[in-house]
């Protein structure tokens, strides 16, 4: 019996099948109920008791080997290995898409890098805020329209929790915790209850900058603004400041840059004025400093805030704000070279 098993083992080792029928014939020959291995199993009854152990083990081994061999042949038939000579294993691999940075992240990083070169460090604050940090500490009058339900998302009726409407709230938090000199830049997401359209969204992104120290003046602010505009939009960029109003700065201004599309000559993009608005700024109102525990008789400072979407639109002429949050890869892939 041992001889027979040995013969079958070496026979099975050599079998091959070129198609499914051949394989099935082999399976029936060895593994079916009437196959050779079953026949041996039947004869096992006749084996002398002292040989049962050895022969039993061998029989089991034979069965496993046969099953594995049939399975291997089946896999080989199902998935034939290619022997195609035209396969060029030295060819460069297909490009692997690792993804791209989001355009808003690219521009946010650029803004932060410019301010980092001026010594500003990044500060962050919560998106869920309270009235004090977003409005009251920043000198918003009780009846200021920005607090209106129309604008602000309140989280629950009667509870003092809301989604921040601007990143100026981070100013409040940093000033409460730190004494000057303070030189921070605060990027982040903000929320406003706006109807969504190509030019407005219920959430967008801002970067805020704040500098507080002794003897900080409007001239310092202007210098930083000019440096920022040139770094961001090119050496030939000009800036102009228009008087404006924000509750937390006095005096306040809005900054325009010379239109980076037409170079200031006038085009549809700048509505033929040659200028486009990019940010709000001003000297921090002494009330705000005092509200946050900084002595306004000793310290002064400037603040500025801008929308990242706005700057991105200017750099890349994105005409519809909704593209930024729709995750359409056809849009996002266009920023491959920039990221
Ligand atoms: N927080 C203002 C807004 O959301 C932007 C702003 C204007 C920020 C003037 C400032 C500033 O720091 O000085 O519209």
Q: Which residue has the higher pLDDT, 339 or 40?
A: 40
Kindly report, residue by residue over 223-244, the tens digit of the pLDDT: 999 999 999 999 999 999 999 9
Given a cut of 80, whether residue 324 has pLDDT beyond it is yes
Q: Which residue has the higher pLDDT, 47 or 86?
A: 47
Q: Is 281 in the pocket of ligand 1 (CB under 6 A)?
A: yes
Given a cut of 80, whether residue 338 has pLDDT beyond it is no
CA of 247 to the centre of ligand 1 (A): 9
SS3 237: coil
Q: Which of 4-13, 140-149, 204-213, 270-279 has the lowest mean pLDDT?
A: 140-149
Model confidence, pTM: 0.73
* Choice from 187, 189, 208, 252 to test ligand 1 binding pocket (greatest atom count within 8 A of CB): 208
What was the pLDDT predicted at 43? 86
Sheet containing strand 300-307, edge to edge, reads: 121-122, 182-191, 203-213, 300-307, 275-284, 249-258, 239-246
Q: Which residue has the higher pLDDT, 84 or 157?
A: 157
What was the pLDDT predicted at 269? 83
Q: What percent of the chain has pLDDT over 70?
A: 98
Q: Is 249 in the pocket of ligand 1 (CB under 6 A)?
A: yes
CA of 60 to the centre of ligand 1 (A): 82
Q: CA dist 76 to 20, 22, 293, Å?
A: 11, 13, 78
Spell out the residues 6+ positions from residue 55 whose beta carbon is closer than 8 angstroms to its own: 1, 2, 5, 44, 47
CATH number for 103-335: choose from 3.30.470.10, 3.30.930.10, 3.90.230.10, 3.30.450.20: 3.30.930.10
Q: What is the DSSP string of 15-27?
A: ---SSHHHHHHHH
Spell out the residues 6+ positions from residue 26 whose beta carbon is closer than 8 angstroms to its own: 15, 17, 70, 73
Atom from ligand 1 closest to the CA of residue 282: 13
Among 271, 273, 278, 264, CA closest to 315: 278
Question: Contact 145/100 with Cβ under 8 angstroms?
Answer: no
What was the pLDDT predicted at 206? 97
Q: Is 303 in the pocket of ligand 1 (CB under 6 A)?
A: yes
Q: What's the mean per-residue pLDDT of the chain? A: 91
CA of 248 to the centre of ligand 1 (A): 8
Atom from ligand 1 closest to the CA of residue 210: 12
What was the pLDDT predicted at 309? 95
What is the residue with the minimal CA distance to atom 6 of ligand 1?
305
Kindly report, residue by residue over 18-57, the tens digit of the pLDDT: 888 988 998 899 888 888 888 888 888 888 888 888 888 9
What was the pLDDT predicted at 277? 94
Phi-psi region of 247 (alpha: psi -120 to 50; beta: other; left: phi over 0): alpha
- Residue ranges of the alpha helices (H) in the chain? 2-14, 20-31, 36-43, 49-78, 103-117, 131-134, 168-177, 218-233, 286-291, 308-316, 329-332
Atom from ligand 1 closest to the CA of residue 281: 13
Spell out the residues 6+ positions from residue 99 whose beta carbon is closer than 8 angstroms to its own: none
Q: pLDDT band at residue 174, thresholds of 50, 70 and 90?
A: very high
What was the pLDDT predicted at 83? 65
Q: Is 270 in the pocket of ligand 1 (CB under 6 A)?
A: no
Give the mean model confidence (pLDDT) for residues 284-302: 98
What was the pLDDT predicted at 48? 87
Domain positions in the chain are: 2-78, 103-335
């Amino acid at each position: 019996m041992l001889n027979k098993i040995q013969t079958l083992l070496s026979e099975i080792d050599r079998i091959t099948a070129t198609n499914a029928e051949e394989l099935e014939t082999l399976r029936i020959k060895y593994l079916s109920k009437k196959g050779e291995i079953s026949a041996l199993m039947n004869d096992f009854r006749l084996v002398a008791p002292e040989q049962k152990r050895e022969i039993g083990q061998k029989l089991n081994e034979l069965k496993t080997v046969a099953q594995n061999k049939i399975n291997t042949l089946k896999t080989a038939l199902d998935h034939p290995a290619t022997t195609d000579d035209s396969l060029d294993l030295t060819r460069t691999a297909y490009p692997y898409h690792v993804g791209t940075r989001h355009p808003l992240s690219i521009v946010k990083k650029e803004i932060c890098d410019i301010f980092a070169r001026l010594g500003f460090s990044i500060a962050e604050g919560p998106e869920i805020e309270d009235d004090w940090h977003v409005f009251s500490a920043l000198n918003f009058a009780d009846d200021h329209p920005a607090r209106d339900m129309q604008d602000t998302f309140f989280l629950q009726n009667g509870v003092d929790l809301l989604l921040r409407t601007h990143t100026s709230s981070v100013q409040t938090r940093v000033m409460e915790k730190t004494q000057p000199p303070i030189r921070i830049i605060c990027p982040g997401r903000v929320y406003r209850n706006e109807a969504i359209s190509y030019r407005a969204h219920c959430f967008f992104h801002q970067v805020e900058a704040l500098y507080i120290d002794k003897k900080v003046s409007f001239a310092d602010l202007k210098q930083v603004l000019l440096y920022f505009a040139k770094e961001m939009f090119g050496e030939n960029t000009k800036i102009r400041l228009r008087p404006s109003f924000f509750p937390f700065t006095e005096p306040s201004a809005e900054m325009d840059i010379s239109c980076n599309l037409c170079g200031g000559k006038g085009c549809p993009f700048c509505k033929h004025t040659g200028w486009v608005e990019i940010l709000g700024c001003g000297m921090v109102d002494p009330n705000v400093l005092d509200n946050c525990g900084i002595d306004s008789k000793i310290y002064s400072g400037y603040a500025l805030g801008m929308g990242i979407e706005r700057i991105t639109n200017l750099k890349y002429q994105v005409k519809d704000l909704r593209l930024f949050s729709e995750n359409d890869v056809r849009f996002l892939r266009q920023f491959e070279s920039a990221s």
